[in-house]
Amino acid sequence: MGTYSGERIDTLMINLQLLDYAGKLISCVVTVFIVFQYFDTRYMRLHESGFIYAGWKILCCLLNFAGYLFNNPLLNITFWISVVLITSKVFYYDPVLSKRRYYMMNVAFVFATSVCEAVGGILAEAGIRLMHIEIEKNASIIGFVYILASATASMLLYYLVLRRLFLPKRTDRIPFGQWMIYAVITAYALVNIGEILFLIKHELSDGDYLFLMADGLFIIVVNLYLFSLLDAFAENKDLKCKLILYERQAKSNYVYYAKQMDNHKKALAVIHDVRKHMRIADAYEQRGEADKRKEYADDFEEMIAPLLMFPYCENVIFNIIINDKVEYCKKKDITFNVDIREVNIDFMKPIDITTIFGNLLDNAVEACEAAEEKEIQLKMYPFNGLIYVLLTNTYAGNIRWNGKGKPISGKGEHHGIGVENVEQALKGYHGSLRLSAQEQIFMAEVMFNKA
């Protein structure tokens, strides 16, 4: 690289040191981003304040950077295993996984991320050998290239592979257009890394070192942004599909129960004319035609039986839903116990009532049909100014849960969205839904109040 003066050598050493620090800082930021995005996507937070998590991420980044200064890979992997275990214990939780599996899954993710980084390092080494660059003579700059390649490989493989291995219910199929954008982003990063390798073969000025640092930072920032944006687009497309299904299902349920309301009105009209029917029955009795009177009474009872409903609650459409499920359960030999105490939900929109209670009861009945002991219990009562609902049902087999504590439907993609619909409807009433299962009893607990 030629002969340098003492001042030039000092400047060169400073530039190389800054380049080394910049590379290590980039690596820390990328690793923190990937690890905590994994936790935020898969698990539930234990604390509500976002400042706590932001502070923990910054602290992890700074501690990781300090650990990098020792240039000890074993120390680095030990540090991240410790961080993941602390994060798992203090900041996040999984309501479904056992403690052992929960911790093992997170530690396995750290090792998988390390493998992705190693893939980037292998590719960087291949490029260095291909361009016949002297490693010992350019150790600091080559180290910077290794870090850029590792960070780029980590991001690419995280979005393409790790998210689909470690995160439940991810979109399995990647559209061709998205593949092409991934390819363009990766090609852009490789071209920039190739430029850095090309510059290594030439004498670098102070401006060149600044360019390398700025270019490396730009590559990482652009990749992080574009990969996140692409994933958000894919997620948004999936959510739009679910929203369409949600609207269709809600309207379908509402139309069905609206028809049931018409039947209820017909029943009221029949009851209004009951005196006329009684007079006809009395006329048969006065003429001594007891057989005809009994036949007429039986016909009348048969006519009004489907129209009459037991008054489980004051809200008409909710009462229709319960009566409808009770009648269905009788046909399927399912025991359905209802206990509703002094609650008024007339403030709720009819379509929200059908969405919340229709979906929960449908799921309970469907699960109960396959069980040996078929029993459903619905309890509803006021609790500390709120309305509390407890729906339990028996079920057969095992329930699979996703990372958000929701049961996974076995009917395929876009099925089992009823729970999401319920949560969406409950938002308008400051409501919450909690699902759990124990000893073949599934429980759905709902709390809400007036919007």
Looking from the CA of 370 toward its CB, the CA atoms found within 13 Å total 10
Going from N- to C-terminal start, the domains of the chain cover 6-245, 310-451
Structure-token pair, residue 20: 């080394």
The total number of residues written for the chain in this structure: 451
pLDDT in tens, the chain (451 residues): 444 445 545 565 566 677 677 778 888 888 998 999 899 888 888 888 889 999 999 999 999 988 877 778 788 889 999 999 999 999 998 866 788 889 999 999 999 999 988 888 888 888 888 877 776 666 667 777 888 888 888 888 888 888 878 876 554 456 666 667 777 777 777 777 777 777 766 666 666 666 766 777 777 777 777 777 766 666 666 656 556 555 655 565 666 656 566 666 666 666 556 666 666 666 767 777 777 777 767 676 666 655 566 788 888 888 888 988 898 899 999 999 999 988 889 999 888 888 899 889 988 998 999 898 999 999 999 988 899 999 999 998 888 776 666 777 655 443 345 787 888 889 889 899 999 888 889 999 999 987 5
Cβ atoms within 10 Å of 395's Cβ, excluding its own: 21
Do residues 375 and 393 make contact, with C-beta atoms less than 8 angstroms apart?
yes
**Distance (Å, rounded) from C-alpha 381 to C-alpha 228?**
44
Strand bridging mode 432-438 / 441-448? antiparallel
Give 412's Cβ-side CA count (13 Å radius): 0
Quote the tokens at residue 254: 């509402």
Contact between 193 and 148 under an 8 Å Cβ cutoff? The reply is yes
Count helices and strands (H / E) in the chain.
Answer: 14, 7
| 273, 300 contact by CB (below 8 A) | no
Measured in whole angstroms, how far is the alpha carbon of residue 411 from the centre of its chain? 18
Coil, strand, or helix at residue 232? helix
* Percent composition of the chain: helix, strand, coil (DSSP 3-state, to 5): 65, 10, 25
Q: In a 3-state reduction of DSSP, which class is residue 432?
A: strand
For the domain 310-451, what is the CATH code? 3.30.565.10
